[in-house]
Structure formats: structure tokens, C-alpha cells
Amino acid sequence: MKTQVCIIGGGPSGLLLSQLLHLQGIDNVVLEKHSREYVLARIRAGVIEHGFAKLMQEAQCGERMQREGQVHEGFFIANAGVLHRVDLHKYSGGNTVIVYGQTEITRDLYEARDRMKGAVIHNAEDVRPHEMTTATPYVTYRLGDEVVRVDCDFIVGADGFHGVSRKSIPKTVLTEYEKVYPFGWLGVLSRTPPVSEELIYSRHERGFALCSLRSPVLSRYYVQVPLADKVEDWSDDAFWAELKHRLPAEVAARLVTGPSIEKSIAPLRSFVAEPMRYGNLFLAGDAAHIVPPTGARGLNSAASDIYYLYHAMVAYYKRSDASGLEGYSAKALARVWKAQRFSWWMTTMLHTFPGSIEYDHKLQETELAYLFSSAAAMSSLAENYVGLPF
């Protein structure tokens, strides 16, 4: 097989790039390890920044998000039983975010790829990039007994944190920065009306909690749990009881509980791999960087990579201008690290750290007191949460 861009990974990063390139007449193939059903069964984050929403429109995939997504002008931070509102609209100079699930985004992207008859190959096994530092790179994969070779100009590694692309770059070339947090998030999706129209990030001595939502009838809640905890340790009743403990009394009193539709534990990790380019292999999204979910940056950081890569490839193919590709890694990483900083800051400010000392608690308290009393601090939070410019 021959194509211009071979994309490894059919998650939101790979699909969005595929769709944008196709609309510009740039031929590409997406190789996805799993079935579509498997990819669409993953429940992940749901806060979309403005720039990403615009990119979805440009990809002709934004219609349902526009219709069903909810525009949020702010959220709450609860501390010591009191709710404080963060007015994103006011402090970001009129910006907002859209609450719309990543699963829905992925579904919309798959539908768009189908509509345009885009090449998305599922259940591609043993995907391997080859000859990345030459002008003739290629990717091989296996479908049953058949091994297929895809010759291309560029390979994009959009295959997530556990993918093959990053691992194909020699260790001598790649530097990995990692910070693992000593806790995870236990998440529950439930068909119940959300306890609040806007998200509530709650700091509590028993551990952090988050009230989020997907729609007026679908709630998403999280509680911080020790790393050793297993999902089986947590009955629905135990989850709801713990969540209530960690919310202000007035909020806990109006929480509607119900059976969980999905329940899972995710560890919290910060990770960046540098550089994001090795010859003609370009990394994007979770393949190159991970953030703890506290600042809702994960998916949005992936989208900014795609924005840079898409524009760089269009410049290359339409105007023979390779400068965007040359500068991709540095440009993407500059924004990636800002998302890392913000996610680390939100995580550190709001979680209970095992082994922390009284001094740490005082600093957390002061961080929040400063935030709630300073328009400058609020503006800093707001501009990061709605997404820094691309």
C-alpha cells in the first residue's frame, strides 16, 4: 500500500489528523490496533477548549458537539465546605469551554471518516514503523495471516501512552520526563441528574473529589483513592458515601445516586517525551505526553499537537514549506509543558498527599485563599483552563 501519511492509532488524535488532512486532499491511512467498539467503549474526559472545538468545526465534525455539547462559563472549587465559583468567562476575557465527552468526539470523527470513505484499518496487529530516518519510511502491520507494508512520506505516532511509536525511537535520542502521583481517581458514570450544572472540584482532607457531567441525565463523578485500591473494593454504595463525605453539605444533600454504568480507576501521571519528532516519525497526543486529569488538559493538549502538525503538513504539501515540520517538536512542546505545569498545579493544590506535613496543608490553604482573593490569580487559572492560544 502507498500513502502520503501513515497514522498509527485511531484515537481522537489520529482520527482528527486523518480527517483534516483528507479535507486538504492529503492521502492518509489510520492503523488502529483494536476494534471500533473497543475504542468507543473507553470513557474518558469531557471538557473541550474553544480552540479544539474550532478545529472540530474545521474538520467538519463539530455539528453534534455544537448541538449537544454544553457551554460552561465557569466551575466551582469547594474548600472547607464552601463553594467558590471560578468565572471563566469573566476572567478569560469572554472565553468558555464545552462539556462533551471524548467518546462522543471519537464517534463523530469515525462517522466523518466513514462519510468521506477514509481508510481506517481496525484490528491491525504488530504495527511497526521502519526506516524513520530515511526519505522512504514505511509501516508494517498484520491482519490475520497477512502482513501488509504501507510506504509513506511521514509516519504519525498517535497511538497513545502504551503505543509502539514512541518505543521505536532509540533511547539515546529520547528523553522522558515522568512524575507519578501517589494516588488514583476512581470514576463512576451514572444515569442520574448531575448534582450541579457546573463542575465542582472539591478539596477535602479525606481526598479530592470531582463532580462532572455528560448531559442533564448523565453524571460523571470521581474520588481520589490510594494506588493500591481495586475497583472491586468499591461497591456503588461505598462510592456514593465517600463522594458525599467530600462535598459541601448542601451539595451532598442534593446528590442523586443510582447504579454505576461504568466504574474504573485511573492512576495519575505526568509524562513528556522529547523530542516529538524522530526523522520522519512525528509523535502526537498521549503517545508523547500525559497529564493528570485535574486540569482537563489531556485531550486538549493532544488537539494542539494535531493543530500544529496539520498546518505543518499542509504547508509542506501545498507550498513545499518544511519549516512547520522542522519546528513542530519545539512548538508543540512549548505548549505541552504549559499544560503540564497547569495540571501539576491544579493537582497539587487540590489533592491530599500521603505523608504530607502541616506546612504543605498551610500552603494549599494559602494557594486557594490567594486564588479566591486575587483577580490576577483567577485570570491565570481561567486562561489556562479555557486553553492557551495555539
Q: Which of 212, 257, 300, 384 binds ligand PHB (CB under 6 A)?
A: 212
121, exposed or middle or buried, with CB in 10 Å at 0-12, 13-18, 19+? middle
157 with 9: CB under 8 angstroms? Answer: yes
- What gap in Å lies between CA 340 and CA 214, rounded to an integer? 25
Parallel, antiparallel, or unpaired: how do β-strands 47-49 and 218-225 relate? unpaired
With CB under 5 to 8 Å by kind, the binding choice for 13 among ligand PHB, ligand APR, none is ligand APR
Name the segment binding ligand APR (CB under 6 A); options: 37-45, 47-55, 214-222, 225-233. Answer: 37-45
157 near ligand APR, rule: CB under 6 A: no
DSSP letter at 260 equals E
- Contact between 220 and ligand PHB by CB under 6 A: the answer reads yes
Strands of 32-174, DSSP E:
47-49, 70-72, 74-79, 82-87, 97-99, 119-121, 125-130, 138-143, 146-151, 154-157
Q: Which of 163, 184, 295, 387 binds ligand APR (CB under 6 A)?
A: 163
In the numeric block, the cell 463542575 is attached to 199
Least separation, in Å, of the C-beta of 208 and ligand PHB?
11
- Binding of residue 51 to ligand APR (CB under 6 A): no
CB of 360 to ligand APR, least distance (A): 28
**Which of ligand PHB, ligand APR, none interacts with 212 (beta carbon under 5 to 8 A by kind)?**
ligand PHB
Choose the binding region for ligand APR from 75-83, 152-160, 193-201, 382-390 (rule: CB under 6 A). Answer: 152-160
Scan residues 89-148 and list those touching ligand PHB (CB under 6 A): none
Q: Which of ligand APR, ligand PHB, none lies near 47, with the C-beta cut-off 5 to 8 A by kind?
A: ligand PHB
Residue 46 in contact with ligand PHB, rule: CB under 6 A: yes
Q: Determine if 166 is a binding residue for ligand APR (CB under 6 A).
A: no
Sign of CA dihedral 12, 18, 21, 25: negative
| Distance from C-alpha of 245 to C-alpha of 16, rounded to nearest angstrom | 40
> What residues contact 66, with CB distance under 8 A and at least 6 apart?
53, 57
Single out the residue of 19, 26, 32, 119 in contact with ligand APR (rule: CB under 6 A): 32
- Contact between residue 9 and residue 287 where contact means Cβ atoms under 8 Å apart: yes
Q: Give the strand pairing for 125-130 and 74-79.
A: unpaired
Figure out which of the listed residues 29, 30, 45, 255 binds ligand PHB, where binding follows CB under 6 A: 45
Nearer to ligand APR, 9 or 62 (CB): 9
Choosing from 74, 129, 157, 160, the residue that interacts with ligand APR (CB under 6 A) is 160
203 binds ligand PHB (CB under 6 A): no
Angle between helices 323-350 and 375-385 (to 10 degrees): 130
Q: Is 34 in the site for ligand APR (CB under 6 A)?
A: yes
User: Which runs of consecutive H residues, i.e. helices, occur in the chain?
Assistant: 12-23, 36-40, 50-58, 63-68, 88-91, 102-115, 236-245, 249-253, 298-319, 323-350, 358-373, 375-385
Q: In angstroms, what is the minimal distance from the CB of 359 to ligand PHB?
A: 27
Q: How far is the CB of 5 from ligand PHB (least distance, A)?
A: 30
Cell of 116: 468521506
The site map against ligand APR for 265-304 (x = CB under 6 A) is --------------------xx-----------xx--x--
- Is residue 387 at the binding interface for ligand APR, with CB under 6 A as the rule? no
Beta carbons of 109 and 15 less than 8 angstroms apart? yes
Binding site for ligand APR (CB under 6 A): 8-14, 31-34, 39, 44-45, 102, 124, 127, 158-160, 162-164, 285-286, 298-299, 302
